[in-house]
Amino acid sequence: MPSPVPSHPAPFHTTSSEQEDLPHATKRKMADHLRRLETMFTLTPQRMRMIVEAFKDALELGLAKDSQIVPMIPTYVFGWPSGDEAGNYLAVDLGGTNLRVCLVTLQGAGKWEITQSKYRLSEEQKQDDGQQLFDFCAECLKTFVVTNIEGGVIPKGAILPLGFTFSYPCSQNKIDHGVLIRWTKGFGAPNTEGHDVVEMFRKSLERHDVPAEIVALTCDTTGTLIASHYVNPATKIACIFGTGCNAAYMERVGDIPKISALGLDAQDEVAINCEWGAFDSFEHEHLPRTKYDITIDEQSNKPGEQAFEKLISGRYLGEILRLIICELIDEGVLFLGQNTYKIEIPYSFDTAFLSLMESDPTDELLMIIGIFSHFFAVETTLAERQFFRALAKLVGRRAARLSACGIASIVSKMGYLEEGCAVGADGSLYNKYPGFADRIHEGLVDIFGEKGRNIVTYHAEDGSGIGSAIVAAMTKLRKEAGKYPTL
């Protein structure tokens, strides 16, 4: 989650704690609005259990047939890592905010070293032609490799195996191939959807003479599953709760009807990239969307799509709260007599602000005074600050409880509840939003009762770096052993 500290000085506003010089709504009126919003954003345990059942059905359908709303993509990562994988591997992660390039030295016995660089992706690059986007990735990788050759870290003349982390839904029929189904997380680069992104990246690597061979295409969630299991074998599920959201787990081949024609051993296991952010898209039958969620969906670059993601991911939570605030400004409830044009700019209210608003209840909510005066040039009353804190809690709690529904659907489907399991979780929401993990655990208990405590989330290992390298190593070893060499 990006830090909400500006890169340039902002005007400083002084204010009293009560703002008695400004007109404002009464505490009673604020309380009335809060009760109305609580009704809209509160998820009962019964409603959560209904969502879990619908989610399970969507998972099963995705395993049975291609081209389903929740695609349940077989990744061709077969089984768990042994912990003995070793060697130098490159990892490239095309994420929602940054391009990350890593050199991972796997040392066996579950140990590694990592060297990495990050390159910022501009909003323009996310909408540029797809091949240009991959050219940028290749240029950054070449700079990284050349620097590490000169530093003596990478041997001169070596062609290193590369794990490519591409965290957008792709259909795969083998591990080094992936046709982009649709962009998510604000990307819209043309001439990419419907194309093999590995082939596009290979072209760019050749064009820029980069000494790397793409061995495996994976998503950050699958990488997180593998890396987390590498250090904690109790891990059976991995989730990302950040700019986007997703989950991965290991499924028995015999329980994936849509790949039965491949003739694989039914007892083998393969990692499934759920792409669960798409749950309940288009039909919108199961998720509790408010009018604010509907507005975000209709104004997005992919209306109707990624319905689950739009309720719980870091890209949208700040915008949900901003829309509520703007509605109350229009109704003459908030910021009376003040110029509110800054907060009326779409996506100007970062999800990081929600995190800060919930972080510290002391000093008459000084953090909230700072956010609104510093970034939006408006003054707040104490009643408004208390109202905003409560709003942030409502939006954040709903996101966490819906996240629990997703986890519970996999737990229930796979029968993990009795024995329990660990869930490796990563992403800015999980890592930085106060109380997010606790609210997920609270939600799991509301869904399953006391047995829900058997499901424990923890901060995951680095999936897009370490995990991607481990997947590349596993794939290299598998193919050298002659197991499913064409997959």
Of 424, 420, 398, nearest to 411 (Cα)?
Answer: 420
167 noted as active-site residue: yes
Which region holds residue 429: left if phi is over 0, alpha if psi is between -120 and 50, else beta?
A: alpha
Tokens of 65: 């047939």
21 noted as active-site residue: no
- Which of 135, 196, 220, 350 is catalytic? The answer is 220
Of 427, 469, 464, 428, nearest to 94 (Cα)?
Answer: 464
Single-letter code of the amino acid located at 169: P
Q: How far apart are CA 379 and CA 166, in angstroms?
A: 43
220 noted as active-site residue: yes
Q: Reduced to 3 states, what is the DSSP secondary structure of residue 118? A: strand
Q: How far apart are CA 313 and CA 405, in angstroms?
A: 14
Q: What angle do CA 351, 408, 410 make, to 5 degrees?
A: 110
- Which of 93, 100, 135, 167 is catalytic? The answer is 167
Longest dimension (CA), the chain: 78
The sign of the CA dihedral 215, 220, 225, 227 is: positive
Q: DSSP string spanning 414-432?
A: HT-TTT-EEEEEESHHHHH
- The gap from C-alpha 312 to its chain's centroid, in whole angstroms, comes to 9
Tally Cβ neighbours within 10 Å of residue 133.
Answer: 24
Q: How far apart are CA 188 and CA 108, in angstroms?
A: 40
Q: How far apart are CA 305 and CA 325, in angstroms?
A: 25
Q: How far apart are CA 293 and CA 411, in angstroms?
A: 27
Q: How far apart are CA 274 and CA 240, in angstroms?
A: 11
Active site residues: 167, 182, 220
